[in-house]
Amino acid sequence: MNVRDLINEISISRGQSSSSNHMLSIPPSRAPSPPANAPTFSRRASIVLIGMRGVGKTTLGTIASKALGWELLDTDIIFEQQEHVSIAQFISTYGWEEFRKVETELLERLIPTNLTEKVIACGGGIIELERNCAILQRFRHHGPVIHVLREKDAVLAYLRDSPQYPPFLHETARETWDRREQLFRECCSFEFVSLTVPIPPAPQGFRDIITPDQTFALKPVEEDFFRLLKFIHGVDTKKVALPPRGPRSYSLSLTFEDVRQAIPVLDELSTGIDLWELRADLLSSCELTFLAFQIATLRHHSSLPILFTLRTVSQGGRYTNVSPQDEKAVKNQSLLFHHALRLGVEYIDLEVVMPESTFLSVVEKKGNTVVMGSYNDWEGTLNWSSPQTRYLFERITQLHVDIVRIIGAAKSFEDNMALRQFVSSVERSSVPLVAINVGPEGKISRVLNPILSPLSHPLLPRAAAPGQISFYETQSILYLTGLLPAKKYYVFGCPIGHSMSPAIHNTAFAHLGLPHSYSIKETATVAELQSVMLDPTFGGASITIPYKVEIMPYLQHISRHARIVGAVNTVTPIPGGRGLSGDNTDWRAITTCLSRSLTPANVVTSSTNALVLGAGGSCRAALYALHQIGVINIHIYNRTRLRAELLAEEFRKLDPLLKIHVLDKLDDGPLPIRPPPTMIISTIPATATAPTYSSTTSTSSELIDVGLRLEHLSDAGGVAIELGYERRITKLLSLAQEKRDQGIAWAVVEGIEILLEQGYEQFRIWTGRRAPAKKVQEKVFEVYEQQRRLMQTPEVR
């Protein structure tokens, strides 16, 4: 369909004339009403979990209830407590019909009286009766009803071998599964695939639902589930920041028939991009469950948001064109898009040539999903200089989309210039525009397009469209055309001869094709750095000791976080030549490592205790990180009590709820902390060259012993973080590892991990891009091991 046909079709569907001679004089049609029925829930609304028996509803419910501090209500458990008999025995005695009757009565009492701050896990057959379906469908207007899925064969094998569940009536478990799947989807508001992860068995006699070691193994499941919950409630919808506030952004169209084929190279494929485009029309199947597992797999292996696209043949894809007169085809296409919304995709692409009923119904139900209204001209009829193209843009914006995407076809280089002139003519629109030309002649349009520009990658089976180029090529062209000037970055400090920071940033620059450089700048005074920071080529700097505080008077802006921490480790020029800005990424690195290492069993609550060793500058970053993740009970141990007291007093002013206690000693008996700390952060050097905390003399190769003992670490598991990285394994980390060897879920975070994380955050601040973590980590560990063999002096960054 060409532009003229599209505009005529839209006009006719609105009851307007199709004459092109007076089309532009026709007043804009009445736009559809803004979305009104999209699911919006209070963050306190209870969460209801439904799904087949054995998919893990109780496990997910336990994870969610502990993390949220809500009560878990499991209908199967409540049923057995109420009837004083197991479900299997009840059914054996009274039959399935009586069981369903009692189960329904239970649900009718449970839902209305537990509308807030509960996690309700329902039995696998709850949807067998229409009365129950009606209850769930009513509730989903109040709170989320989430259909939980797992791999069918794994669950069926578990059910077959488990004596806990009675046999199904008149059908096999597989037949029951296939029949119920549609019923679950008719009753739910969202769908979650709980991908199977290896779970260690519980010790004999363990009575709790989940052991501490099992919660550690379930961390990936927790992360996947809470990604969906955060999206549902708008806490973190993973929206890409668009220009002018954000940097240039890019998407990558996956062209695999099965996303699982991409897993080995997913890290490489994600280089430089901000968004995955899942081309559902290129997958081997569009069956709903297959799509659910495709999206779940992609999410499980990447934190990037997902754009769901179903490109039809007329728009350059493989999905069959849908005629508005073909009711079955319209229904099937609509099901796919609404299923994508049910899966919580962050972005969805809607072709403006699709049946209007489907387009408007998706927009109406979009919730927190960003809708991209797209038109793809594969016939080469679109003329960027034509008034019809402007009319097309305005028509699409009237459909209440969040982003417009118009794709043309370049026959000459001049077509790209016409495209840029068109973009300039609509830049004041409140709706962002993605505009590119396909084909070899259109490559430059992809480079110049600043919003979610579609890219390809050599590791893809094929490009999604002709003329697509890689992120690396895009950056090279931007540099050659002067749109990406080379910048110089530094690490400032003294002494810093063995800093690891150049390995971090130069590796990242090279892998992303960025023309920047990073080098060491060692000076006797901070004043000597001023001329470097005022140079037009200055891109930013890492600040290390002794200048983290001394640099602050030279900065025109200091972030709130850096002011609280009392130190700056990152300097960036303010755009427009308005001076320099200072920030601190140390606390962010600690926060990141804490968050990803805490298991569902050790989620932060009002009773959580943390222990910080040392009271120097790094301690401030640790205290702030703990405060930011919600810890209010913090204990400090330092050789000099007065210094710790002063620091504690200062941070107590940050939050009236914050309780910071200073300990006198560690080595005699149990810690005076109840419950024991589940987070321990050491901010002191791992080794020493002179007598210090230990009662005996230390050398540079000896580990410092502050008196921490194995019994001081909680038997509920926890996280041990070492900020120093002159040694890979320290006293604290060896104790945590010993706990792990005992089967207790203690996570170990080495100092070099903190170093990497703060470097990744610096890289993001400077470039607006994610650092290629895997490549950087490989290089840093290589350099780190080389330096350890060549030197004995602890490295300082």
Encoding tokens for residue 692? 């210090």
Query: How large is the average pLDDT for residues 178-201?
Result: 90
776 pLDDT more than 80: yes
* pLDDT per position as a tens digit, 77-114: 999 999 999 998 999 899 999 999 999 999 999 999 99
Q: How confident is the model at residue 616 (pLDDT cuts 50, 70, 90)?
A: confident
Residues 741 and 764 placed together within one structural domain of the fold = no
pLDDT given at position 629: 94
Residues 535 and 600 placed together within one structural domain of the fold = no
pLDDT given at position 19: 36
**Residue 659: what are its φ and ψ, rounded to 5°?**
-115, 105
Residues 576 and 645: beta-carbon distance below 8 Å: no
601 pLDDT more than 80: no
**CATH no. for residue 257?**
3.20.20.70
pLDDT given at position 100: 94
Residues 110 and 77: beta-carbon distance below 8 Å: no
The mean predicted confidence, pLDDT, of the chain is 88
Residues 130 and 59 placed together within one structural domain of the fold = yes
pLDDT given at position 542: 96
Residues 294 and 409 placed together within one structural domain of the fold = yes
Residue 276 CB contacts under 8 Å (≥ 6 apart), including other chains: 251, 252, 254, 270, 298, 302, 304, 305, 306, 307
Query: How large is the average pLDDT for residues 467-490?
Result: 95
* pLDDT per position as a tens digit, 501-524: 999 999 999 999 999 999 999 999
Residue 414: inside a domain = yes
Q: How confident is the model at residue 25 (pLDDT cuts 50, 70, 90)?
A: very low
pLDDT given at position 758: 97
Can you give the residue range of the structural domain that contains 54? Answer: 47-199
Last residue of a domain, one of 463, 480, 497: 480
pLDDT given at position 642: 92
Residues 566 and 639 placed together within one structural domain of the fold = no
Q: How many domains would you assign to the chain?
A: 4
**CATH no. for residue 67?**
3.40.50.300
Residue 33: inside a domain = no
Return d(Cα 103, Cα 85) in angstroms, integer: 14
Query: What is the DSSP pairing of strand 517-522 with strand 557-558?
Result: unpaired
Residues 475 and 503 placed together within one structural domain of the fold = no
Q: How confident is the model at residue 707 (pLDDT cuts 50, 70, 90)?
A: confident
Q: How confident is the model at residue 497 (pLDDT cuts 50, 70, 90)?
A: confident
* pLDDT per position as a tens digit, 730-770: 889 999 999 888 878 899 999 999 999 999 999 999 999 99
The amino acid sitting at 67 is A
How far, in Å, are 3, 34, 330, 392 from residue 9 at the CA level? 10, 22, 17, 11
Residue 516: inside a domain = yes
How far, in Å, are 329, 340, 343 from residue 336 at the CA level? 11, 6, 11
Residues 288 and 157 placed together within one structural domain of the fold = no
pLDDT given at position 203: 63
Residue 26: inside a domain = no
pLDDT given at position 698: 38
Residue 190: inside a domain = yes
3-state secondary structure of 252: strand
Residues 432 and 572 placed together within one structural domain of the fold = no
Residue 212: inside a domain = no
* pLDDT per position as a tens digit, 657-695: 999 999 988 876 778 888 899 999 999 876 554 333 333
Residues 447 and 531 placed together within one structural domain of the fold = no
Q: How confident is the model at residue 706 (pLDDT cuts 50, 70, 90)?
A: confident
Q: What percent of the chain has pLDDT over 90?
A: 70
Residue 218: inside a domain = no
Query: How large is the average pLDDT for residues 275-279?
Result: 98
Residue 795: inside a domain = no
pLDDT given at position 661: 94
Residues 446 and 516 placed together within one structural domain of the fold = no
How far, in Å, are 38, 515, 587, 624 from residue 557 at the CA level? 41, 27, 18, 20
pLDDT given at position 28: 37
Encoding tokens for residue 490? 């530094």
**Complete DSSP assignment for 320-348:** PP--TT-HHHHHHHHHHHHHHHHTT-SEE
Residues 498 and 475 placed together within one structural domain of the fold = no
Residues 656 and 733 placed together within one structural domain of the fold = yes
Last residue of a domain, one of 458, 480, 502: 480
3-state secondary structure of 591: helix
Return d(Cα 198, Cα 202) in angstroms, integer: 13
3-state secondary structure of 703: strand
* pLDDT per position as a tens digit, 146-187: 999 999 988 888 777 666 666 666 678 788 888 999 999 999
**CATH no. for residue 703?**
3.40.50.720
Q: What percent of the chain has pLDDT over 70?
A: 88
Q: How confident is the model at residue 208 (pLDDT cuts 50, 70, 90)?
A: low
Least confident segment among 36-40, 251-255, 604-608, 635-639: 36-40
Last residue of a domain, one of 480, 506, 532: 480
Q: How confident is the model at residue 32 (pLDDT cuts 50, 70, 90)?
A: very low
Rg (CA), the chain: 29
